[in-house]
């Protein structure tokens, strides 16, 4: 049992777990309900993490041969490294599904419905005859729904709120931004994907198309997010846009780069700046709920921006750190 517990946490992959949690918190904070917690604020993240484990276990079983090429020494691929057997992976998968369904049953019908939908998406993405992961456009769209829309929706439901009409623009914006990020994932996996005929946007349409699509998606998405953002202070919006400007620059550098290690470096830096943008949005919404004065908002944004810019400079000088982090 202890080994299954270890495999469960290996398959959780903490970076993605943090991403899911941030989008869940975004759904709560956009509705100004972070100060009114309830038990669902704690139960739903457990269900989200378990749903992700259900997804990774089944995907790793299906894509074992591809992962042997793309991730031969990655500890977060226990099936490839030999730390887990297929039987153990199936057991962890069933445990994860059981946790998701149990939490859904303990909460309410809305939460249960969204959680069941998340499990269905997992199977559509990985298993035949659907295998959305092999479809150039369906793969990133499916991942965007799984990583963004589902946790965000659960955040809204947990806060006892409903999505209003203007908010739809905000949601589409964050979906477009994430889509622009997730299509760059294929740069890391293209060797194994090409060998086993996995049709990704990168392999089907090429690097220039993917970079252009990423740029357009992030541009449109960030414009929608900032348009609907509740704080209309010009300085605050300008500070938020600094993250987007750096991401645009990194997409351009990716477009011009031919060395695969440097490509991963630029993608990794872009992902980190995207996290900075998302954390800034969440923090600003929390401060708004606390009715903090505008000076506090600006101090918070400047402090966080300083941290991310400092990290950006350190990684520019030590690119291998970012590549290792991206591969992990």
DSSP string, 106-158: HS-HHHHHHHHHHHHHHHHHHSTTT-GGGSTTHHHHHHHIIIIIHHHHHHHHH
Q: CA 275, CA 222: separation in Å to the nearest integer?
A: 13
Residue 323 has pLDDT above 60, yes or no: no
Task: Give the pLDDT of residue 322.
Answer: 58
Structure tokens at 298: 């600006």
What integer best gives the mean pLDDT of the chain?
93
Residue 117 has pLDDT above 70, yes or no: yes
Residue 324 has pLDDT above 50, yes or no: no
Q: CA 54, CA 46: separation in Å to the nearest integer?
A: 12
The full length of the chain comes to 328
| CA distances from residue 258 to 142, 170, 312 in whole angstroms, order as listed | 29, 35, 21
Q: CA 131, CA 67: separation in Å to the nearest integer?
A: 16
pLDDT band at 197 (very low <50, low <70, confident <90, very high): confident
Task: Give the pLDDT of residue 27.
Answer: 98
List the end-to-end C-alpha distance of the chain, in Å, as a whole number: 25
DSSP structure class, residue 63: T
Of 215, 192, 194, the residue nearest 204 (C-alpha): 194
Residue 248 has pLDDT above 60, yes or no: yes
Q: Assess if CATH 3.20.20.100 describes domain 1-164.
A: no
Q: CA 52, CA 23: separation in Å to the nearest integer?
A: 14
Quick check: pTM over 0.75?
Answer: yes
Whether 12 contacts 75, CB under 8 Å: no
Residue 327 has pLDDT above 50, yes or no: no
Structure tokens at 35: 């100060």
Task: Give the pLDDT of residue 325.
Answer: 44
Task: Give the pLDDT of residue 319.
Answer: 75
Higher pLDDT, 102 or 322: 102
Q: Residues 157, 219, 323, 189: is their CA dihedral positive or negative?
A: positive
In terms of phi and psi (left: phi > 0; alpha: psi -120 to 50; beta: otherwise), the region of 229 is beta
Q: Residues 98, 175, 26, 281: is their CA dihedral positive or negative?
A: positive
Of 134, 90, 96, the residue nearest 118 (C-alpha): 96
Residue 288 CB neighbours (<10 A): 16
pLDDT band at 73 (very low <50, low <70, confident <90, very high): confident
In terms of phi and psi (left: phi > 0; alpha: psi -120 to 50; beta: otherwise), the region of 274 is alpha
Q: CA 207, CA 192: separation in Å to the nearest integer?
A: 17
pLDDT band at 321 (very low <50, low <70, confident <90, very high): low
Q: 118-172: per-residue pLDDT in tens? A: 999 999 999 999 999 999 999 999 999 999 999 999 999 999 999 999 999 999 9
Three-class SS of 265-325: HHHHHHHHHHHHHHHHHHHHHHHHHCCCCHHHHHHHHHHHHHHHHHHHHHHHHCHHHHHHH
What integer is the mean pLDDT of 298-318? 93
Least confident of 1-5, 52-56, 244-248: 1-5
Residue 254 CB neighbours (<10 A): 23
Q: CA 259, CA 126: separation in Å to the nearest integer?
A: 30
Q: CA 188, CA 175: separation in Å to the nearest integer?
A: 21
């Amino acid at each position: 049992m202890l080994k299954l517990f270890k495999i469960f946490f290996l398959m959780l992959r903490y970076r993605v777990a943090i991403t899911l949690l941030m989008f869940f918190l975004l759904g709560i904070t956009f509705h100004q309900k972070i100060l009114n917690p309830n038990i669902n604020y704690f139960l739903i993240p457990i269900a989200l993490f378990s749903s992700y484990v259900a997804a990774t276990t089944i995907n790793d079983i299906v894509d074992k041969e591809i992962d042997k090429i793309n991730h031969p020494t990655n500890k977060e691929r226990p099936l490839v490294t030999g730390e887990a057997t297929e039987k153990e992976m199936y057991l962890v998968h069933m445990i994860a599904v059981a946790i998701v369904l149990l939490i859904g049953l303990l909460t309410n019908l809305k939460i249960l419905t969204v959680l069941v939908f998340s499990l269905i998406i997992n199977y559509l993405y990985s298993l035949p005859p659907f295998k959305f992961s092999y479809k150039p456009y369906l793969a990133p769209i499916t991942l965007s729904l799984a990583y963004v829309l589902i946790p965000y929706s659960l955040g809204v439901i947990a806060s006892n709120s409903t999505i209003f009409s203007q908010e739809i623009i905000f949601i589409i914006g964050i979906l477009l931004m994430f889509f622009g990020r997730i299509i760059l994932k294929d740069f890391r996996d293209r060797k194994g994907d090409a060998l086993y005929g996995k049709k990704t946007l990168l392999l089907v349409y090429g690097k220039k198309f993917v970079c252009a699509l990423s740029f357009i998606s992030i541009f449109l998405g960030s414009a929608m997010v900032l348009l609907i953002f509740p704080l209309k202070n010009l300085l605050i919006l300008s500070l938020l846009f600094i993250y987007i400007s750096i991401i645009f620059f990194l997409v351009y550098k990716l477009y011009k780069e031919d060395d695969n290690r440097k490509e991963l470096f630029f993608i990794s830096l872009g992902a980190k700046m995207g996290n900075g943008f998302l954390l800034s949005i969440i923090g600003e919404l929390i401060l708004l709920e606390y009715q903090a004065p505008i000076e506090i908002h600006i101090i918070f944004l400047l402090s966080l921006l300083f941290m991310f810019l400092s990290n950006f400079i350190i990684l520019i000088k030590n690119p291998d750190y970012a590549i290792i982090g991206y591969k992990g």
